[in-house]
Amino acid sequence: MNLDFSPFPELTSERLVLRALKISDAKAIFGLRTNKEVNTFITRKLLNNLSEARAFVDFTTNLSQKAVGIFWGLATKENNEIIGSIGLQNFNIEEKYAEIGYDLHPNFQERGFMSEAFQKVLEFTSQKMNLKTIEAFTDKNNSASIALLQKHAFKLQIERSDVGFENNRIYRLENPALHNN
């Protein structure tokens, strides 16, 4: 399993550049991480100000530098605007395992942007990281997230639960390389 994220792996799709966050993205990150609609199904601490958003950008940089996670900002090719994020964390080297998480601003939902980003990250996990298993934890009422996971061949793990998060369901993808289009 390869956890070398230096230089930071920038990924591109038809409409997006998946890139490292920059301090100049703090306002967009603040908007994402304080948006009620974005955070309806996500249990996380909401940011209080731009200073906390800048600290979050620094945190994501440290994740990849320390090889304990990787976090991409989803920037539109059109104007380099951050419209969402996607990341991998909780690596298990022996199991070749990671968890995936993501969010997208409501103005860009239901337009295929997250599916586009998801596909690029799945390709990266199999081609560059050699991951064998990826899991996602999503709220049972988040139909858009569930549809995204199912579209990308993730399967519901009905026998498992997310301890402490009773509304979450666990979806799993085995052998991501087999599912790259």
Phi, psi of 20 (to 5 degrees): -65, 145
pTM: predicted TM-score of the whole model, two decimal places: 0.92
Calculate what percentage of the chain has a pLDDT beyond 70.
Answer: 94
Q: What angle do CA 61, 64, 69 make, to 5 degrees?
A: 115
Q: How would CATH label the architecture of 11-179?
A: 3-Layer(aba) Sandwich (3.40)
Mean pLDDT of 112-126: 96
* Average confidence (pLDDT) over 66-78: 97
How far from the centroid of its chain's Cα atoms is residue 71's Cα? 7
Residue 165: φ, ψ to 5°: -135, 75
Distance, CA of 63 to CA of 114 (rounded, Å): 22
Q: Is pLDDT larger for residue 177 or for residue 114?
A: 114
